[in-house]
Structure 1
Amino acid sequence: MSPRTRSRSRPGFTLVEMLVSMAVLALLMVIIMEMINRTQQTVTRQQARAEEFKEARAAMEAISRSLSGAVINSYWAYGDYSVGGKVNYTRQSDGHFVAGPATILRAAEQNSPGHAMFFQSSDGQTKLGTSTTGLGDPYNLITCMGYYVDYQDEDKLDIRPEFLAKDKVLNPERSRFRLMELRLPPEKNILYSTSLDINGAGSTRDNAYKWFRGPFTDETNTLKNSTVLAENILALILVPRYVAVTTTGSTGESGTGSNKENTLTNTKPAADYYYDSRESQWGAATEKSRNTAHQLPPVVQVTLVAAEERSYAELEIRMGEKPLADAVNAAFANKFTTQSQYAADLEAVEEALNVLKLKHRVFTTNVAIRGSKWVVEERNL
């Protein structure tokens, strides 16, 4: 048998089979690359989202930490009103806690929607150092604190380095909604000054508010002594609660000729979002004004509405700087004035921001204030 007869040639791939296999391989590579690309995009978006709202989360933690340590330094003093025909000792203080609509608290300086809050803290921070005479131990000093949202450009806030501020063509200034923190050192504090006389009988609300509005000892105002806590915070919403005592019914026990009644200490939200520890000085005599007199709120619900920077920047290019700011302000207009409408107002705001296609996120927490008494106290003479 010849060699040619013994060795039969092995069949190979045809041209058509090669082309089909190459097409299938190319299709698989395209599918795999598309899956990898989408995975990368998802991871990038999630990382960007986490980084985008990182400032807002940090700001919420800072507010919670500072607010929980608020002080008012109350004491007992002779009262100027009577209850049940008996003149009482009442709680007094040289401090002040106030939270409510920014239109009330910041007045002419108000430049954004939402609320504001101002109080004292014993964090002992001063810019003069420990060797400064006349201030005592700086670790026992009172610092005036405050939080509010303001819409300004970067140059007005003086937050850009000089080399960036000089060239506004390559580095244009940005106007943004920003969460501001007022941290007034003791050397600028006018709360205890005789010129303010916050405990004076004739002290008005506008006069009392000068301790956080200014002018301070260096003739500066609130904004000048504030720093940016977080960018792209569209609004700060505060729901302060106050202590209320309710009667739950008779116990059936006799005492001094009548049945005793059980009482329950509870908290109520401020119906108008307004809490002023000195409202009793210039407001109508109400349950809230009496129970909040020189008292810290036991709990404050804090809500931040934060926008995504990339989404805001894209909208700013399409709409323009001022029209976008006006649209955001319009979304909050006439909202958060009645606490019972809180949920409905928040839903309406989110819907308006979604219509604008502005990506955002809402952060909410309840902060318990350690210095709050949680009781309504009176002492009869």
Structure 2
Amino acid sequence: MKHKKRGFFRRIIGFTLLELMVSMVVLALLMLVVFNMLETTTKAWSQSTERVQTFKEARVAFEGLTRRMSQAMLNTYFDYKYRTAVPRPNERPTGYERKSDLHFISGRSEDVLESERFPTHCIFFQAPLSFSLDPSNQSFGSLLNSWGYYIERNTDEDQIPEFLSGFETITGKERYRLMEFRPPTENFKVYSSDLKTRYNTEWFKNDVVQKAYTPGGRPFSRAIAENIVALIIEPKESTSTTETNNTLAPDYEYDSRRFQKDKKPKDPTKHQLPPLIDVTMVAIDEGSAIRNEQTEGQLTEIVPKNLFQKVTDYDKDLDELKRILESKNIKYRVFHETVAVRASKFSDSALQR
């Protein structure tokens, strides 16, 4: 029986060159898709983290601002009403009226503080915050403090350590900063400002404008957030979206002692706190501030003075501010909250007759 001999060379089965090239192309495409997904995810995570970290200081400051604003108080009471502010001896009262020894005021900073270095709005009030230089006083828990918030264009020269102040390369950084007015209870000036007989804002105005210090050298005001370009304060009576006219503060001004200034004893804000306060704050990031400063050669005005003059123009003004920031490639964030003032017991002005 004859056996068929196998051939010396056997047919080898494998991939052709074309198949290998197609496989490499498919593998390259898959790797490209994976790398693109990884890059997109990493970029999104980095931007999200950067955004959170960038506005973290502003967010913390805004939360503190709204929390303390809700604690404002006037300690209002009813007392005899006389024909004159200072009654004559044995003068008979004509009735009862609402009274208070404290003061709540908010509005355009240029009007309240009478200085152009304070843009947009400000607010000043009293609250039981128990801030004292003497640690033993803090145990009382309800000591009154004058408090306030405003934006100031200033430098941080006072924050530079003395051993670095001699270097020419280290200079103060000029920015728009959210300032917190917080004199200790030892420097409480409301009762000594003679508010009962005349209208005045001496209990905060001079200390803010002139940057007053305590006897121990601590400033009454401190910066709590940088790159805050706008602070909008709108006291109002209702949360209704259908109510377009804000009768309490149509031009953002609210003053519990406006009746003294305007000689209107039946002013609805007389010795009353607003039930609600709409607070809007606009912050920009440090990179945008540096870029804008380098482009313009100096720190320029970001919020035009003609914005946020009337409550009815709020939406239009905010859209205009956003447009301005976007046109300058400035990254920003808008914070907004409606604050309920706990001590507010707002009632009809007819009770003041």
State the TM-score bracket (shorter-chain normalisation): 0.7 to 0.9
**SS, match of residue 147 in structure 2:** strand
- Which of 256, 259, 269 is residue 292 of structure 1 equivalent to? 269
The structure-2 alpha-carbon separation of the partners of 1:4 and 1:380, relative to structure 1 and needing over 3 Å to count, comes to: closer
Tell me the equivalent position of 1:34: 36
Rounded to whole Å, the distance in 2 between the matches of 1:364 and 1:25 is 50
Rounded to whole Å, the distance in 2 between the matches of 1:165 and 1:44 is 35
Q: Would you say 1:212 and 2:208 are equivalent positions? A: no
Return the offset for 1:269: 4.1
Rounded to whole Å, the distance in 2 between the matches of 1:173 and 1:219 is 17
Deviation per CA, 1:148-178: give whole Å up to 9, x if none.
Answer: 11111111xx234456655452x55322111
Tell me the equivalent position of 2:153: 151
Return the offset for 1:352: 1.6
Return the offset for 1:69: 0.8
Return the offset for 1:276: 0.7
Tell me the equivalent position of 2:281: 304
**SS, match of residue 94 in structure 2:** strand
Tell me the equivalent position of 2:196: 199
Return the offset for 1:309: 2.3
Tell me the equivalent position of 2:261: 282
- Which of 110, 113, 132 is residue 103 of structure 1 equivalent to? 110
- In angstroms, what is the RMSD of aligned CA positions? 3.1
Q: Tell whether the 8 Å contact from 2:145 to 2:184 is kept in structure 1 after alignment.
A: yes
Return the offset for 1:112: 3.5
Q: Tell whether the 8 Å contact from 2:211 to 2:220 is kept in structure 1 after alignment.
A: no
Deviation per CA, 1:211-242: give whole Å up to 9, x if none.
Answer: 012349x9926994112222211110011125
Rounded to whole Å, the distance in 2 between the matches of 1:359 and 1:215 is 33
What are the equivalent positions in structure 2 for 1:133-144 lying under 5 Å apart?
A: 138-144=140-146
- Report sequence identity in percent: 34
Q: Tell whether the 8 Å contact from 1:153 to 1:173 is kept in structure 2 after alignment.
A: yes
What are the equivalent positions in structure 2 for 1:159-308 lying under 5 Å apart?
A: 159-162=159-162, 165=165, 167=167, 169=169, 172-193=171-192, 196-200=193-197, 203-204=198-199, 208-215=200-207, 220=212, 224-241=219-236, 268-285=247-264, 290-308=267-285
Rounded to whole Å, the distance in 1 between the matches of 2:168 and 2:154 is 16
Amino acid at match of 1:197: D
Rounded to whole Å, the distance in 2 between the matches of 1:3 and 1:227 is 101
Rounded to whole Å, the distance in 2 between the matches of 1:137 and 1:166 is 42
**SS, match of residue 204 in structure 2:** helix
The structure-2 alpha-carbon separation of the partners of 1:342 and 1:284, relative to structure 1 and needing over 3 Å to count, comes to: farther
Rounded to whole Å, the distance in 1 between the matches of 2:6 and 2:79 is 123
Return the offset for 1:79: 2.0
Tell me the equivalent position of 1:333: 305
The structure-2 alpha-carbon separation of the partners of 1:318 and 1:367, relative to structure 1 and needing over 3 Å to count, comes to: same
Query: Structure 1 or 2: larger strand share?
Result: 1
Return the offset for 1:17: 4.5
The structure-2 alpha-carbon separation of the partners of 1:160 and 1:38, relative to structure 1 and needing over 3 Å to count, comes to: farther
Q: Tell whether the 8 Å contact from 2:211 to 2:219 is kept in structure 1 after alignment.
A: no
**SS, match of residue 5 in structure 1:** coil
Amino acid at match of 2:130: G
Return the offset for 1:59: 2.0
Q: Count residues with an aligned counterpart.
A: 333
Tell me the equivalent position of 2:342: 370
- Which of 51, 64, 67 is residue 65 of structure 1 equivalent to? 67
Return the offset for 1:18: 3.9
Amino acid at match of 2:206: G
- Which of 22, 25, 32 is residue 24 of structure 2 equivalent to? 22
Amino acid at match of 1:238: I
Return the offset for 1:130: 1.1
Rounded to whole Å, the distance in 1 between the matches of 2:184 and 2:289 is 34
Rounded to whole Å, the distance in 2 between the matches of 1:113 and 1:151 is 8
Q: Tell whether the 8 Å contact from 1:301 to 1:366 is kept in structure 2 after alignment.
A: yes
Rounded to whole Å, the distance in 2 between the matches of 1:43 and 1:198 is 55
TM-score, structure 2 as length reference: 0.83
Rounded to whole Å, the distance in 2 between the matches of 1:198 and 1:239 is 24
Amino acid at match of 2:117: N
Structure 2 gap segments, 5+ residues each: 85-92, 239-244
